[in-house]
Amino acid sequence: MFRLRSLKKGTSFYIALVLVLIGVTGCGSNKQTGSGETELTVLLDWYPNAVHTFLYAAEEQGFFEEAGLKVNLQTPAGTNDALKLVATGKADLALSYQMQVAISRSEGIPIVSVGAIVRHPLNQLMVLDSGEIQSPKDLVGKKIGYPSIPLDEAIVDTMVKSDGGDPAKLNYVDVGWDLIPAMTTKKVDAIIGGYINHEKLLLEKEGEKLIAFDPSRYGVPDYYELVLTASEDGLKSNSDAIKKFMEAAAKGQEYTASHPDEALQILLDKQDEQFPLDAEIERKSLDILLPLMDAGMEPFGSQSEKSWSSIIAWLKEQGQIKQDVNAEQAFRHL
């Protein structure tokens, strides 16, 4: 989670992202194009990759246009920037993280989730498959690399405690976003903060054998990794357009699930020059993502009060939020 902190790979790219933010600042809700379409600015959570395939498929297949929408997909400089831009009406929608939405609401930021996109954790505890670590409790006395995010520590602490180990005996190593080299050089025995559809695949491509432990199997409530957010005011003034966006996005996801190769090629054809994609990695990533994005018998993006209540309670227990957050107000059914 909080992936955008790892986007800043150089000064020139940072400047480019700042320019994107400046461009986004002029975008508000309820804009009408000359053809009568409603214009929406949608901020991604990270640079365009496999998880966004459904959006690019919806755009390419004309589902947004059929819904009377002109959708501008943009990349912000950071996740916090995206939520703040949406909260202040400078953008209409943003992909973000369920935990971050709950934390933001506890800080008085009027953000609401309007759809669960990835329904289960991607940020998983990864260890080298050396035979020494069979479950999280075996990490006691080992080195765990992480990107200096307290929430990641809380996840691992919970997992180890749930597995019968003592979290107080864990050894965390701040490796920043150098998670992959930290593992390949054996600087650490495990990492948290990496995703099973990205870092794990890249490490495996380099020949590493890994085991990934799902937090939801070790004491952390199963949570929505990725959600689509809007502001409370935006929902009041623009709910019809946002509902149409979700319906068109659902069609994009349906197309992606039934035509994965064609849908992914749409993304690859539009990839960001600053972050060229590895087609092999993105195909494997999409294979991992599709079942985790599937809502089963429920509509795409559906959410439950139970999910929000459980993750809010866990965040409060871990000291990640200080103020009470009403689960029913943190999300909306469209």
**Position 4 pLDDT exceeds 50:** no
Q: What is the pLDDT of residue 25?
A: 45
Write down the H helix ranges in the chain: 11-25, 53-60, 63-66, 79-87, 98-106, 150-162, 179-184, 199-205, 232-258, 260-269, 279-293, 305-317
Tell which residue, 228, 267, 236, has the closest CA to residue 61: 267
Q: What is the pLDDT of residue 221?
A: 98
Give the span between the Cα atoms of 111 and 317, in whole angstroms: 22
Residue percentage of the chain with pLDDT more than 70: 89
313-332 pLDDT, tens per residue? 999 999 999 899 999 999 99
**What rounded mean pLDDT belongs to the chain?**
91
Q: For the whole model, what pTM was predicted?
A: 0.92
**Position 180 pLDDT exceeds 90:** yes
pLDDT tier, 130 (very low <50, low <70, confident <90, very high otherwise):
confident
Q: What Cα–Cα distance (Å) separates residue 75 from each residue in 19, 22, 111, 126, 128? A: 11, 12, 18, 28, 33
234-244 pLDDT, tens per residue? 999 999 999 99
Q: What is the pLDDT of residue 203?
A: 97
Instruction: Dihedral sign for Cα 139, 210, 180, 48, please.
Output: negative
pLDDT tier, 16 (very low <50, low <70, confident <90, very high otherwise):
very low
290-303 pLDDT, tens per residue? 999 999 999 999 99
pLDDT tier, 190 (very low <50, low <70, confident <90, very high otherwise):
very high
35-86 pLDDT, tens per residue? 789 999 999 999 999 999 999 999 999 999 999 999 999 987 765 688 999 9
232-271 pLDDT, tens per residue? 999 999 999 999 999 999 999 999 999 999 999 999 999 9
